[in-house]
Amino acid sequence: MGAQLVRPLVVVTNREPYADERTRSGTRHVQKAGGVVSALDPLLREIGGDWVAWGSGSADRETSPGGVRPVPLANPRYRLHRVYLTPEEVQGYYTRYANQGLWPLSHMLVERARFSRRAWPIYRSVNGKFARRVARESRPSALVFSHDYQLALVPTLVRQLRPDLAIAHFWHIPWPVFPVLRLCPQYQELLKGLLGADVLGFQTDDDVEAFLTAVQRTFRQARVDLENQHVYWQNRTVQVQSFPISVDVKAIEEIVATPRITRWSHGIRRRLLRPGQQLGVSVDRADYTKGIIPRLEALREFFHRYPERMGQVVFLQVVVPTRSEVHAYRTLFHDVERETHRINEEFGHGDWAPVVTLRRSLDRDRLMGLFRAADFALVSSLFDGMNLVAKEFVSAQIDRRGVLLLSETAGAAQELDAALTVSPWDPEGFAATLDQALSLPLEERQQRLRTMQQHLHRHTLYDWVTDILTALDSTAYAIER
């Protein structure tokens, strides 16, 4: 794993790494997807420790006496501490404040942001629930690694209860520039909450600069060192740094090279393509920040501007349901269906449909196989903290055939600079870049992929974990001295 820790580790996330779900025959133990789980579950299995998270599975209470679930059951290596929330808490903390307020604001979609004064006390109270659980379960001088916009108040709340703990917090989504941040009525409380950390991590240097600027312009009592990226706050030093999250590139390469996924990948091409056609893919949650509708508008523009391309491309879009309790996400599915139907009606002919939609998730192995099968991938989110789909596509391209078209407003664009960049707000330019991608010679495709793959081998998911925890461990050691 790379992270060599002497101190006990406590991970704190909104989403739990494993959920227990009721089935007709009993209960099913389900591992949750995501970069944090992929990185930290193996680490805790190796070194032991504790994980505090919302127990959202339908059978979680039945399988967790006292709210504690050993992981794994057969040979326990760490303890999962489940925080249980009432329906009212889920609605106020998660649905309304986090996902209808902080999420769109952080993605610069200010017209969608809704901050409820009734939801804010619930958000604060739930953060307090997490903090109290962390304080109760953490061993002396432990390292606490908390995560994201749902738990922005946790660092300071934990520090108030357990000043002996060293705390790192990682903010996974974009950090809004100061004029946008101030649209949140509670932005000062959020800043104070995050400044309880010893190490505060963001995806990009732009996020770090925006956060430091916000602190500097909000609190006269804070001393901000922009050059060294430190905040001196309440007789403490907060290290603020970019730690771009990544993927397990070796594991992805091994998955797509297996005989089963190789056959599956080749089978996709046989089923979807005729000779001379190229396969494009996109994989997104049904989230308005992912730019799915602007992408379809760019595809429509592409076939208008380049009619000779009709019949040459099949585009498979995987749109995974998410946050169905939020109205904007439910309506997005209907908008995607409408725009897809419009493109296929206008440009399709015979048995060729330009756009094929898959409205469900694929398991990880098949998803990586899809990336291997593709000739190009469109990752055109409006804004993204990172976007791991882009890194997964590059990692899965062991045949080095594909071209990555990547939104210039995704964090991944700062690292994967051999991708072809697009603006999701510019359908004409997007169309022109797609035409360029389809014409790239194989040698150039291979060189671009080789460059990006070499970068990912040097900056893996486990390097991300190691860098943050090493910084935190060093901070804790310096404080003790």
Give the span between the Cα atoms of 165 and 146, in whole angstroms: 12
Cβ-based neighbour number of residue 418 at 10 Å: 18
Strands 420-422 and 403-407: parallel
Nearest CA to 364 among 261, 246, 259?
261
Residues 82 and 60: beta-carbon distance below 8 Å: yes
Name the superfamily (CATH) of residues 249-458.
Glycogen Phosphorylase B; (3.40.50.2000)
Query: pLDDT of 172-225, one tens digit each?
Result: 999 999 999 999 999 999 999 999 999 999 999 999 999 999 999 999 999 999
The CATH architecture annotation of domain 9-245+462-480 reads 3-Layer(aba) Sandwich (3.40)
Structure confidence at residue 423 (pLDDT): 97
Structure confidence at residue 34 (pLDDT): 80
Q: Helices 259-272 and 249-257 sit at what angle, rounded to 10 degrees? A: 70
Structure confidence at residue 481 (pLDDT): 45
Structure confidence at residue 328 (pLDDT): 65
Q: Write the DSSP assignment of 417-465 as a string of letters.
A: TTSEEE-TT-HHHHHHHHHHHHH--HHHHHHHHHHHHHHHHHS-HHHHH
Specify the pTM.
0.94
Structure confidence at residue 156 (pLDDT): 98
Structure confidence at residue 323 (pLDDT): 58
- Domain ranges, ordered by start, for the chain: 9-245+462-480, 249-458
Does residue 72 have a cis bond before it (omega within 30 degrees)? Answer: yes
Structure confidence at residue 297 (pLDDT): 97
Structure confidence at residue 446 (pLDDT): 98
Tokens describing residue 330: 């439910």
Residues 233 and 211: beta-carbon distance below 8 Å: no
Structure confidence at residue 331 (pLDDT): 83
Give the span between the Cα atoms of 15 and 29, in whole angstroms: 15
Q: What is the pLDDT along the chain (481 residues), one digit of tens a residue?
A: 556 677 899 999 999 999 999 988 888 888 887 878 988 999 999 999 999 999 999 999 999 989 999 999 889 999 999 999 999 999 999 999 999 999 999 999 999 999 999 999 999 999 999 999 999 999 999 999 999 999 999 999 999 999 999 999 999 999 999 999 999 999 999 999 999 999 999 999 999 999 999 999 999 999 999 999 999 999 999 999 999 999 999 999 999 999 999 999 999 999 999 999 999 999 998 899 999 999 999 999 999 999 999 999 999 999 988 755 556 667 888 899 999 999 999 999 999 999 999 988 899 999 999 999 999 999 999 999 999 999 999 999 999 999 999 999 999 999 999 999 999 999 999 999 999 999 999 999 999 999 999 999 999 999 999 999 999 988 865 555 4
Helix and strand totals (H; E) in the chain? 18, 18
**3-class DSSP state for residue 234?**
coil
Structure confidence at residue 240 (pLDDT): 98
Nearest CA to 309 among 437, 422, 399, 405?
437
- β-partners of residue 237 are 232
